[in-house]
Amino acid sequence: MHDWADVHRLHREGLPQAAIARRLQMSRNTVGRLLKLSEPPKYERRPQPSLLDPQGRGGRHAGRGSDSAVHGHLEHLRRDAYAGGRTALKDRLARIRPQFLAAGAYERTTYFPGEIGQADWWHTRRKVRSARATREAFGLVTALPRSAAHAVVYTVSRTTADVLPALLGCLARLAGRRRS
């Protein structure tokens, strides 16, 4: 773009093409080509085909918007040998998501067995007395949505020291094994 402006400025000042080429250290062919352009040249990169296009992917869960949803969709695509990256998927979803939202089209999210689980603290609002104090009891609830299996381990606080053994206890119960 700068070359185009310099060439046109020098040409308006009356310099011949050969003198412009020498002064700007470019070929006369380049000077001639730039003089034929009425506007500065624009860099236009042709869009590359997406790794999502050949398989018709990328729109399957377009209504899902969060980063965790993109991650989940990426995991589904990787199972189907998708080798692309997260950015390509996010760009693709950003382009097609408005079409899905406008149409009100949503797809039910499904998971394979064992693919997802959820853990959350339950405030029981029940008090537990010990020799030293009275505290609220909490339950760490862990669920497997596909099978509706769930497990609860109760604690008297929500510290890291309590959550790790509680989570292991829940996972052991869900796996059908006894805690050791």
Q: What DSSP designation does 146 have?
A: T
In a domain, 180, yes or no: no
Same domain, 58 and 98: yes
- Reported in sequence order, the residue ranges of 118-180 that DSSP labels E, i.e. its strands, are 118-129, 134-144, 149-155
Q: What is the pLDDT of residue 52?
A: 66
Same domain, 67 and 24: no
Same domain, 58 and 74: yes
d(CA 117, CA 95): 30
In a domain, 71, yes or no: yes
Instruction: Using pLDDT thresholds of 50, 70 and 90, give the confidence band for residue 105.
Output: low
In a domain, 44, yes or no: no
Same domain, 75 and 100: yes
pLDDT > 60? residue 126: yes
Higher pLDDT, residue 153 or 46: 153
Residues spanned by the domain of 13:
2-36
In a domain, 81, yes or no: yes
Same domain, 98 and 125: no
pLDDT > 50? residue 61: no
Higher pLDDT, residue 76 or 136: 136
Q: What is the pLDDT of residue 141?
A: 93
Q: Which residue has the tokens 């760490």?
A: 140
Same domain, 61 and 95: yes
In a domain, 8, yes or no: yes
Higher pLDDT, residue 61 or 2: 2
In a domain, 41, yes or no: no
Most confident of 58-67, 68-77, 149-158: 149-158
Number of domains within the chain: 3
Same domain, 105 and 122: no
**DSSP letters for 46-103:** PPPPPTTTTTT-S-TTTT--SHHHHHHHHHHHHHTT----HHHHHHHHHHHHHHHHHH
